[in-house]
Structure 1
Amino acid sequence: MILEIAMLDVIPAQTLEFEQAFAQAQKIISRMPGYLSHELQRSLEKENRYVLLVQWQTLEDHTIGFRQSPEYQDWKKLLHHFYDPFPVVEHFVKINLP
């Protein structure tokens, strides 16, 4: 399993509109092959900052399967205009400790 983490700084006056658009956009991502789950959380310290956590089966499910899909264009149209600056996205793998 891969965990995608995206820090999303939303234009301050547009947080409500962002949350409404995300409610639509989550339907897109949840139908993608390799998608496992997601959650969106809002910062308590900076009310226009969100973190998006998405679990994928493989890295390629996100980087190729989703980002190179026609559905990604719909995702972009719904969400990308809310970000300032554009999000940093990283991928993580769980460390199994004894």
Structure 2
Amino acid sequence: MILEVALLQVRPGQYAEFESAFDKAQAIISSMPGYVSHELQRCVERDGEYILLVRWQTLKDHEVGFRQSSQYQQWKELLHHFYDPFPTVLHYEPVAGAKA
């Protein structure tokens, strides 16, 4: 399993609109092959900062299956104009034996 981590900085004054758009956009990502789960969290200390965590079965499911799909174009249209700067997205994999 792969964990996609995106740090999102939303433009000031657009937080409610972003959250509303994300409510619609999450239906897109959750319908993709290889999608496992996701969560969006709002930072308590910093206005407009969010973290998006998406679990995928494989890295290819995200990088190819989602990012090269027509559905990704809809995702971009709904969300990408809210970000400044554009988010960094990284991928993580479990470390063997490191469970709590």
**TM-score tier (shorter):** over 0.9
Alpha-carbon distance in structure 1 between the residues aligned to 2:71 and 2:97: 37
One-letter amino acid matched to 1:58 = T
Runs of 4+, deviation exceeding 6 Å:
none
Report the equivalent of 1:92: 92
Instruction: Quote the offset at 1:85 in angstroms.
Output: 0.1
1:44 aligned counterpart, secondary structure: coil
Report the equivalent of 2:83: 83
The percentage of aligned residue pairs carrying the same residue is 62
TM-score (norm 2): 0.96
Report the equivalent of 1:50: 50
Q: Does 1:73 align with 2:73?
A: yes
Query: Which 5+ residue runs of structure 1 have no aligned equivalent?
Result: none
What is the root-mean-square deviation of aligned Cα atoms in Å?
0.8
Alpha-carbon distance in structure 1 between the residues aligned to 2:60 and 2:53: 16
Alpha-carbon distance in structure 2 between the residues aligned to 1:12 and 1:57: 34
Instruction: Quote the offset at 1:47 in angstroms.
Output: 2.0
Report the equivalent of 2:19: 19
2:4 aligned counterpart, secondary structure: strand
Report how many residues are paired.
Answer: 98
Instruction: Quote the offset at 1:96 in angstroms.
Output: 1.5
Instruction: Quote the offset at 1:12 in angstroms.
Output: 1.3
